[in-house]
Amino acid sequence: MATFESLKWLTRFLEETPGDSEVGGKSRQVPNACWSRVKPSPPPSPELQMWSAEMGLKLGLERPDGRVLGGEMVTAGMDPYSQRYGGHQFGSWANQLGDGRAITLGELQLEDEVVELQLKGAGHTPYSRFADGKAVLRSSLREFLCSEAMHHLGVPTTRALSLVTTGEQVVRDVLYNGNPAPEDGAVVCRVAPSFLRFGSYQIHTANGDHETLQALVSHTLRHHFPNHSAEDDVSRVTWLSHIAEQTAVMISHWMRVGFVHGVMNTDNMSIHGLTIDYGPYGWLEDYNPGWTPNTTDAGRSRYCYGQQPQIGAWNVARLLEAMVPLMDEPELLHDVLESYTVKFAQLHNTMWANKLGFQNWIEDDETLVRDLNALLQRVETDMTIFFRLLSSIETPSIELLEDAFYDPLTVPKDAWGEWLLRWWERTGQSPNRQTMLENNPKYVLRNWMAQLAIDAAEEGDFSVAEELHALLKDPYSEQPQFETMWFQKRPEWARHRVGCSMLSCSS
């Protein structure tokens, strides 16, 4: 196993795209650039608290102390920077955004790939605007646990390597309601092929900087999509269709497991089709397609669970607009949006076939699924528990599914009985249980579970977080030793608690 000093660091992004001439400095506009060099802010007392042994093994890293991963020191080969990008936030163009609290240490050459290591919460950058670039333990622990949990659920995602507490207090207003308070600081190290996002390209087109756009696209294709090119319009459409389809794959997995991202702004959309920037996310407890965990979006529910596929298409369209300056025939970009729509429809049908144990999807299944969605919303129903129980029942009886309902006395039993009989007949009285069990997880990182880990960690006890980290590495297995504690509906104490039902972009 290696140390940071002995790893092979690269600086391809800095070498091949235009950058800021100033290092660090105050918050400012940085025109005609893709990045700014930044030094992490050394914390007073960094301490490694959470470590992904899987990611450490992948990187060839032995478990370190918290100095590098907390931002105290930069080793030879690293050349830290923050990325500049723009984005549409809640549907409105926000112009320059950028890494306000993220600092990339560098690109790391592994045996068969290159990955980027990025510290989140390591200090001020030129893109921090009015903020301090720091992160708190609450949000850092949520990101560490969720990115690793999503990976093991089979959802495309960035990964987490570590969580380091910094030994300092960071002031945050949890719900942006005028009640700031000091919290424990922390830094997460996250890992991805790159942290390029749709907004990375949008900013240059919006500012009329087509030369920088071209340089960024050339870099992107050379290193991240070597099987594609942008030599002509047809090849550009093929490349962008690939990005669109990977985005559809990601969102179809979100829908499968009941995940709600919460902030699907274009600056939070990875060009690799990875779930990125874990903030006010959540899993459906009650099956309510209109639910969003983000209090900022509570009035409009733009990014609610049921809207995620449509928002994915909207975001892809914004990426395509950014590529218009490179096209001789921009009307061809309509084919890219069509590829997203077709791909998602195929994946969505396959998802439901797998969740319900069908051997394949037929046209009549659409009615069965539509009726199921309506029934799941009739009374408060836990999505994860319902589908997991459905995966193993031996007879189409609603009584076998009662544990999924918050109030079994209100369940419309006749309607459910009729639907279950139709489902049972559709499967030939023999649903594909293996497929169902592989697509309907038993354990997901519910917000109340994460909050229990946060409550303990804020008292210096990371044992709950470690237990969840272990549990969620195998979310499709029964794991009976964890069932009593973690396979249950949302407790009543969590129904209206901040951090469980209410989260903000500081979460």
- Residue 196, pLDDT > 80, answer yes
**Four-residue CA torsion sign, 334, 335, 340, 344:** positive
pLDDT at position 24 over 80? yes
pLDDT range class, residue 172, cuts 50, 70, 90: confident
* Residue 501 pLDDT: 81
Question: 267 an active-site residue?
Answer: yes
Q: Please say whether the beta carbons of 358 and 424 come within 8 A.
A: no
Q: Which pLDDT value is given to residue 271?
A: 98
Q: pLDDT for 316-373, tens place per residue?
A: 999 999 999 999 999 999 999 999 999 999 999 999 999 999 999 999 999 999 999 9
- pLDDT score recorded for residue 88: 98
Residue-wise pLDDT tens digits, 69-126: 999 999 999 999 999 999 999 999 999 999 999 999 999 999 999 999 999 999 999 9
pLDDT-derived band at 275 (thresholds 50, 70, 90) equals very high
Task: Please check the confidence at residue 192 and state whether its pLDDT lies above 80.
Answer: yes
Q: What pLDDT score was predicted for residue 317?
A: 98
Rounded (10°) angle between helices 334-356 and 365-376? 70
Across the chain, what does the average pLDDT equal? 96
For residue 106, what are the contacts with CB-CB under 8 A and spacing of at least 6?
A: 9, 10, 11, 77, 78, 79, 80, 116, 117
The residue to which tokens 């996310």 are assigned: 281
Binned at pLDDT 50, 70 and 90, residue 507 comes out as low
Share of the chain above pLDDT 70, in %: 100
Residue 390: the pLDDT is 98
Which pLDDT does position 162 carry in this prediction? 98
Contact present, 174 and 80 (Cβ < 8 Å): no
Q: Pick the catalytic residue from 20, 99, 267, 277.
A: 267
Residue 99 is encoded by which pair of tokens? 């890494």
pTM of the model: 0.97
Q: How many CB atoms lie within 10 A of CB 421?
A: 11
Percent of the chain scored above 90 by pLDDT? 93
pLDDT at residue 13, rounded to an integer: 98
